[in-house]
């Protein structure tokens, strides 16, 4: 990519990052603000998890997706627990979520809940990030010791400079999650542009485990354009959902996980 082209595309790339992984609708919104940009159409490139537009082909689908192939710090990864570095100085993340209005979208890649306020935050080593949206993958994108969990939930946050931090929760089959039913009872089976606002407030805390110890590493969006510079926080404790809840998502998205990517020179840390 030439320097000139980078200058033209850079604002678009940042807008894409703000949208977070799986956030096609938010990307569209961001792109709407760039009506005059010649790069507008490139974000319409179709990508999927199957066939000719599956993860191994993402980089071929659009010039802006090149990082999906050439990136050296891609997500997800396989977390090998005996290679994880226990870092004394890291403390568990602080989560400050409060019951909020959320709008549910089927963006063709996943079910996504968009927040309409900026009251929900996480703090990581003194840096605060605000929750933008959360969405789901089946099976999990991250592996732990080579094994997938049944599903994975991504809470996508952004700091004041636009840097992203994704808090990931692994989901395993077990007891029902009652709070989830507020979203699951109204998920659109077909792709929809307009969000459907749920009745009442949704409490994101009820999708979290009690223990917030985590694996930390530097990675990327797990969907095109696979932008790097994303701080990942993968909670070590999974959360149970019922088989029925998992199957309801599976009926719409049989699988929507990017395969694990090479760790390369990176290390995975844990907090204390």
- Among 12, 18, 21, 26, interactor with Zn ion by CB under 5 A: 21
Query: Among residues 30 and 151, whose Cβ is nearest to Zn ion?
Result: 151
Residues linked to residue 214 through DSSP beta bridges, in sequence order: 235
Determine the interface stretch with Zn ion among 85-93, 149-157, 226-234, 245-253 (rule: CB under 5 A): 149-157
User: 176 burial class (0-12, 13-18, 19+ CB within 10 angstroms)?
Assistant: middle
Smallest separation (angstroms) from Zn ion to the CB of 109:
9
Smallest separation (angstroms) from Zn ion to the CB of 132:
12
Query: Among residues 154 and 248, whose Cβ is nearest to Zn ion?
Result: 154
Check binding of 22 to Zn ion (CB under 5 A).
Answer: yes
- Among 43, 148, 154, 157, interactor with Zn ion by CB under 5 A: 154
Check binding of 238 to Zn ion (CB under 5 A).
Answer: no
β-strand 269-270 against 214-220: which pairing, if any? antiparallel
E strands present in 87-126: 94-96, 102-106, 111-115, 121-124
Smallest separation (angstroms) from Zn ion to the CB of 110:
7
Query: Among residues 21 and 260, whose Cβ is nearest to Zn ion?
Result: 21
Those residues whose C-beta lies under 8 Å from the C-beta of residue 178, and which sit 6 or more positions away, are 206
Asked whether the beta carbons of 241 and 40 are under 8 A apart, the reply is no
Determine the interface stretch with Zn ion among 22-30, 35-43, 67-75, 229-237 (rule: CB under 5 A): 22-30
Smallest separation (angstroms) from Zn ion to the CB of 55:
13
The candidate with the shortest Cα–Cα distance to 130, out of 102, 162, 99, is 162
Q: How many residues bind Zn ion (CB under 5 A)?
A: 3
| Active-site residue flag, 109 | yes
Q: DSSP secondary-structure letter at 130?
A: E
Query: What torsion do the CA atoms of 152, 158, 159, 163 make, to the nearest 10 degrees?
Result: 90
Smallest separation (angstroms) from Zn ion to the CB of 170:
13
- Residue matched to tokens 């809470």: 155
By CB under 5 A, name the binding residues for Zn ion. Answer: 21-22, 154
Catalytic center residues: 109
């Amino acid at each position: 990519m030439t320097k000139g082209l980078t200058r033209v595309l850079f604002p678009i790339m940042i807008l894409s990052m703000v949208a977070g992984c799986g956030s096609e609708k938010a990307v569209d919104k961001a792109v709407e603000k760039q009506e005059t940009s010649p790069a507008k159409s490139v974000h319409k490139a179709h990508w999927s998890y199957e066939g000719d537009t599956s993860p191994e082909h993402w980089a071929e689908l659009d010039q802006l997706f090149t990082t999906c192939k050439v990136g050296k710090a891609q997500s997800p990864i396989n977390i090998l627990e005996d290679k994880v570095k226990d870092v004394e100085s890291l403390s568990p993340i602080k989560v400050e979520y409060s019951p909020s209005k959320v709008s549910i979208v089927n963006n063709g890649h996943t079910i996504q809940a968009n927040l309409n306020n900026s009251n929900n935050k996480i703090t990581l080593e003194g840096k605060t990030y605000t929750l933008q949206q959360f969405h789901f993958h089946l099976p999990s994108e991250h592996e732990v010791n080579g094994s997938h969990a049944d599903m994975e939930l991504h809470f996508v946050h952004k700091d004041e400079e636009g840097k992203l931090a994704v808090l990931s929760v692994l989901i395993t089959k077990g007891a029902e999650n009652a709070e989830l039913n507020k979203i699951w009872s109204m998920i659109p089976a077909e792709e929809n542009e307009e969000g459907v606002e749920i009745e009442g407030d949704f409490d994101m805390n009820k999708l979290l485990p009690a223990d917030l110890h985590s694996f930390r590493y530097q990675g990327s969006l797990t969907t095109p354009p696979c932008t790097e510079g994303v701080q990942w926080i993968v909670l070590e404790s999974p959360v149970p959902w019922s088989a029925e809840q998992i199957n309801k998502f599976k009926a719409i998205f049989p699988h929507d996980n990017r395969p694990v990517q090479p760790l390369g020179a990176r290390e995975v840390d844990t907090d204390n």
